[in-house]
Amino acid sequence: MDTVIQIVVSGLTMGAMYAVATVGLSLVYGSLNMLNMAHGALLTLGAYFCYSALAALGLNPLAAFAVAIAGGALLGLAVYVLVALPLLRAPNFETNVFIATIGVGTVLESLMLKGWGPFPIPQPLAVHGEFVIGRVHVPLQNLFIFAVALVMMAATAFLLERTRVGRAIRATAQHRSAAQLMGVRVKVVYAQVLALSGALAAVSGMLVSSLLTISPTMGGDPMLKAFIVCVVAGLGNVYGAVAAALALGLLEAATQYLLGVRWSFATLLMLVILVLIWRPYGLFGRQQVVRL
């Protein structure tokens, strides 16, 4: 039972971090049909913003959290204005923006390397202490990560389901042209989605770095895991992405315990292959029928 508790705690912690990163990625794809390959760089910058607000500016953790979220949202908006918007009316938008955001991510990584240096930095955002379940000592940091992720998921769900902005986002994701005909300002929706995605990426970066350390290349692994979750859930399916992230977090924790750390990523990739063979549109996605 103690082993099961350890696996569940570790799995839910990892799954919560993946979920925050995945929702931002999935929102952008669902609305714009765009894979934002700079998502990992935005994630890392969120961690650096939080670190700088705490260490250099001396702000309290709540203010540093707000600074990082605002910085991530502004960067997401900049990606839309400077990269996605100019390419939006061009042919082969999906391919062009995919390549362009790879370039943006590379540039941002180089800027982080120049600004903060190549060495790992510990994240001051930490909750000390622990509590006991049975004979297992669970760090309060894990509970903090899960609670923050839960709050962010609830806030995003409220935004999508209960607000006018959320209805516009869902309408645009369902049918762009129909939403435009009904008076939805699609370009404004795109900007809002990229800003929201950047804010969620910043939160994910803060959570990941609070367990590990911050480095310019830190965002690569979480972004790849988020992409795996998106594929398993179905690209653009936000709620399915949350469920898939928590499930894959538990699977990864169990694999690390049973087979070793080096097998965890291989297991996730094997799962992606099986899902693509069995359900190419994802576990929660819908099959699209195209009539010629």
Q: What is the pLDDT of residue 191?
A: 92
Q: What is the pLDDT of residue 106?
A: 92
What whole-number distance in Å separates Cα of residue 286 and Cα of residue 102? 28
Structure tokens at 97: 């923006």
**Which pTM does this prediction carry?**
0.88
Q: What is the pLDDT of residue 236?
A: 64
Q: What is the pLDDT of residue 157?
A: 86
What whole-number distance in Å separates Cα of residue 50 and Cα of residue 67? 7
Q: Dump pLDDT digits (tens) for 225-267.
A: 888 888 887 766 777 888 888 888 888 888 888 888 788 878 8
Going residue by residue through the chain, which has 292 residues, state the pLDDT in tens, using 9 for 90 and above: 677 888 888 888 888 888 888 888 888 888 888 888 999 999 999 999 999 999 888 888 889 999 999 999 999 999 999 999 998 877 888 889 999 999 999 999 999 999 898 888 988 887 887 777 777 777 888 888 888 888 888 888 888 888 888 888 888 887 778 888 888 888 899 999 999 999 999 999 998 888 888 999 888 888 888 888 888 877 667 778 888 888 888 888 888 888 887 888 788 888 888 887 887 777 776 654 333 3
Q: What is the pLDDT of residue 53?
A: 92
Report whether 243 contacts 255 (CB < 8 A): no
Q: What's the number of CA atoms in the CB half-sphere (13 Å) around residue 256?
A: 16
Radius of gyration of the chain (CA): 19
Structure tokens at 144: 């903090």
What whole-number distance in Å separates Cα of residue 97 and Cα of residue 78? 14
Q: What is the pLDDT of residue 277?
A: 83
Structure tokens at 99: 């390549």
Report whether 35 contacts 98 (CB < 8 A): yes
Report whether 49 contacts 229 (CB < 8 A): no
CA proximity to 21, closest of 165, 160, 199: 199
CA proximity to 237, closest of 185, 178, 287, 191: 287
What is the torsion angle, in degrees rounded to the nearest 10, for the CA atoms of residue 4, residue 7, residue 13 and residue 14? -150
CA proximity to 69, closest of 197, 189, 235, 239: 197
What whole-number distance in Å separates Cα of residue 87 and Cα of residue 97? 7
What whole-number distance in Å separates Cα of residue 281 and Cα of residue 291? 17
Q: What is the pLDDT of residue 203?
A: 92
Measured CA to CA in angstroms, residue 276 lies from 92, 240, 245 at distances of 24, 16, 17
Helical packing angle, 61-79 and 39-55, nearest 10°? 150
Start-end of H helices in 175-288: 176-181, 186-211, 220-233, 238-258, 264-278
Structure tokens at 240: 């399915």
Residue 121's φ and ψ, nearest 5 degrees, are: -120, 130
Q: What is the pLDDT of residue 287?
A: 54
Which burial class, exposed, middle or buried, applies to 161 when counting CB atoms under 10 A from its CB (0-12, 13-18, 19+)? exposed
The H or E element spanning position 15 is helix 2-32
Residue 54's φ and ψ, nearest 5 degrees, are: -80, -50
Q: What is the pLDDT of residue 289?
A: 38
Total number of residues shown for the chain: 292
